[in-house]
């Protein structure tokens, strides 16, 4: 009697596995996987790690920019005309190169990785 139920269960499972719905599910999964692979997406974890690295890099860059301003001011105090020229050039490039929203970590970002 137990063999009878096992046989029926096996045939039902086999029928479900070979049903058209299962074939459609497999085809849709394959198509979506292929489509996502073409998009070159990153995982959320990879994005969060890169966002942290970017935040640390920006903080370090700001600290270095402050250090450069301090050194330029010190040089200018010693009577160096070159320091004044360098500080105006540095100020013009930093204000022109900023991107709106680039320093806002909560702003949505799109990562494009081109080979």
d(CA 89, CA 65) in angstroms, rounded, equals: 13
Question: Does this model's pTM top 0.85?
Answer: no
Residue 92 is predicted with a pLDDT of 47
pLDDT tens by residue, 4-31: 778 888 888 887 777 787 788 888 888 8
Given a cut of 80, whether residue 108 has pLDDT beyond it is no
Residue 96 is predicted with a pLDDT of 43
pLDDT tens by residue, 64-102: 999 999 999 999 888 755 544 544 545 544 444 555 455
Alpha helices in the chain (DSSP H): 2-17, 20-39, 44-77, 81-96
Q: What is the overall mean pLDDT for the chain?
A: 76
Sketch the domain layout of the chain as residue ranges: 1-41, 42-106
């Amino acid at each position: 009697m137990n063999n009878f139920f096992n046989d029926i269960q096996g045939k039902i499972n086999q029928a479900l596995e070979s049903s058209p719905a299962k074939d459609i599910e497999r085809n849709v999964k394959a198509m979506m996987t292929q489509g996502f692979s073409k998009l070159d997406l990153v995982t959320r974890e990879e994005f969060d790690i890169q966002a942290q690295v970017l935040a640390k890099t920006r903080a370090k860059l700001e600290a270095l920019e402050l250090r450069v301003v301090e050194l330029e001011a010190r040089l200018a105090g010693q009577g160096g005309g070159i320091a004044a020229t360098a500080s105006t050039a540095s100020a013009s490039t930093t204000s022109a190169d900023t991107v709106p929203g680039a320093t806002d970590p909560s702003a949505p970002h799109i990562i494009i990785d081109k080979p």
